[in-house]
Amino acid sequence: MSNTTYSVKKSEITRKWYIIDAQGKPVGRVATEAAKLLRGKHKPIFTTHLDTGDYVIIINASKAIFTGKKLTQKKYRRFTGYLGNMKEISAKDMMASKPERVFELAVKGMLPHNSLGRAMIHKLRVYSDDQHNHEAQAPEIWKF
């Protein structure tokens, strides 16, 4: 037995493409699966300080659901940079106008808040319907 810890090298990391269908599923459940795939936690070579994750495509984002009263009570806030300009939009309005942004924000909050997390979020693609243009990457369907 070896007394050294194995650390994966960048050249040994292989990336796959996965599709997650969000139709009829809660937003948080889909986001946690996407974050897990983006970080690479489903792989035995997972390393916290390296980007070992895969690419993720989320389809049917507009058909996802919120549980409980989140659809009416949840608010998305952003600050414009000017005094008194805190913009607020409800989850219901956000799902009607930009359902892709709901998933981007949910997944981004589950990734590390550093340069590694910013690199991981670039591997996420979200589409409001079931049409995507990534057939050439031969994505696999991720079941959970």
What would the pLDDT profile of 76-93 be if each residue is shown by its tens digit? 999 999 999 999 999 999
- Topology of domain 15-66+97-141, CATH: Ribosomal Protein L13p; Chain: A; (3.90.1180)
Q: How far apart are alpha carbons 59 and 76 in whole angstroms?
A: 22
Q: How confident is the model at residue 10 (pLDDT cuts 50, 70, 90)?
A: confident
Burial 79-116 (b: 16+ CB within 10 A, else e): eeeeeeeeeebebeebbeebbbebbbebbbeebeeeee
What would the pLDDT profile of 27-64 be if each residue is shown by its tens digit? 999 999 999 999 999 999 999 999 999 999 999 999 99
